[in-house]
Structure 1
Amino acid sequence: MSTRFFQFVGGDTGVWRVVKTHTLIGEPLLDVARLDVVAGQDNASQPDSGWLLRGITSNERYVERAEKNTLVEKQQGLGRPEATCAALIPIRKNAAWWALTQDERRHIFEGQSQHIQIGLDYLPAIARRLHHCRDISENEPFDFLTWFEFAPTDEEAFNQMLMQLRASEEWQYIDREVDIRLVREA
């Protein structure tokens, strides 16, 4: 079983109850009641009604060594008992983004938008794991699936972080984004 491959199954089962789904840009996802996060390729099946999103954890594309060291030092892991709130934010970037070179994307990502620095400002309260969909296929409905976990008392800080990111230059390249809020239930 691969611990890099994850499936996000939206349907009627799963430990995460969907509280709200908000489509910011592009086509919405079907409404679902629950979400299951499954590690590995063979553990999830396509739900009868709903959706299945797939992604792979991978190397950090736009992070320099000092930034990576700081991220590793400050970030807490997923699955903390107090982190009963979560957000799954699938994002697709437009063709103009993918036409840029790696160094041009890095410049927009951090030089202009300060994506890493914004995230660092909210650690360790907000934990995240990024999943790359394009590493599976360019035909996936999203390029990235970002999974966040946080305590209920940190929800306002999470919203502030998203507001800052969405106001950045980088977000001019987004052509599909859905914000799915969740609460963990037994």
Structure 2
Amino acid sequence: MAARLAVLEGAGAAPPPEAAWALRGVTSNPRYTNRAELNALGAVQQGLLRPQATRAALIPIRKTEAWWALAQDERRAILEEQSRHIGIGMEYLPAVARRLYHSRELGEPFDFLTWFEYAPEHAADFEELVRRLRQTAEWAYVDREVDIRLSRT
């Protein structure tokens, strides 16, 4: 159990000396979305730190080596054409805001840090979103995940 979690952003952000552990990630250019999807996401996605969104989830994910052995177009086909990852996520916007951090290139133990925020009345929607994503073909390439739930007081 952890009493608190801090999300620090920016090039100079460093965990405080008393931090028990830290995960690092960077936001990046969109890698698997096409123009139409980017436009659709931009039209409905709301930002983080909304006052009503007092619930959050941090889900670090590591993909298998088989995933990384695929070409980017093959990963895209599994992600969206087969699994509908982006399409499923769109169904829960704007209630569930999200941000993806990339960690693989930093040598971190996880490839992605997925951060979600939502209001308590959307908790069931968030659970359904995560359940649906875990049932997709893409999820067969997840080697490890840690599901951390948080509440802002």
- TM class by shorter chain equals over 0.9
TM-score (norm 2): 0.95
What is the aligned residue count?
A: 153
- C-alpha offsets along residues 18-63 of structure 1, whole Å, 9 cap, x if unaligned? xxxxxxxxxxxxx422100011243323654621000000011110
More helix by share: 2
TM-score (norm 1): 0.79
Secondary structure (helix, strand or coil) at the match of 1:149 reads strand
Check whether the contact 2:8–2:15 (CA below 8 A) recurs between aligned residues.
Answer: no
Secondary structure (helix, strand or coil) at the match of 2:88 reads helix
Equivalences for 1:130-169 in 2 at 5 Å?
130-136=100-106, 139-169=107-137
Identity over aligned pairs, percent: 60
Aligned amino acid, residue 113 of structure 1: S
Runs of 4+ in 1 over 3 A off after TM superposition: 46-49
More strand by share: 1
Aligned amino acid, residue 50 of structure 2: R
Check whether the contact 1:128–1:149 (CA below 8 A) recurs between aligned residues.
Answer: yes
Q: Distance in 1 between matches of 2:144 and 2:136?
A: 16
Q: Distance in 2 between matches of 1:90 and 1:46?
A: 20
Secondary structure (helix, strand or coil) at the match of 2:33 reads coil
Unaligned regions of 5+ residues in structure 2, if any? none
- C-alpha offsets along residues 51-100 of structure 1, whole Å, 9 cap, x if unaligned? 10000000111101001100000101101110000000100001000000
CA RMSD of aligned residues (A): 1.3
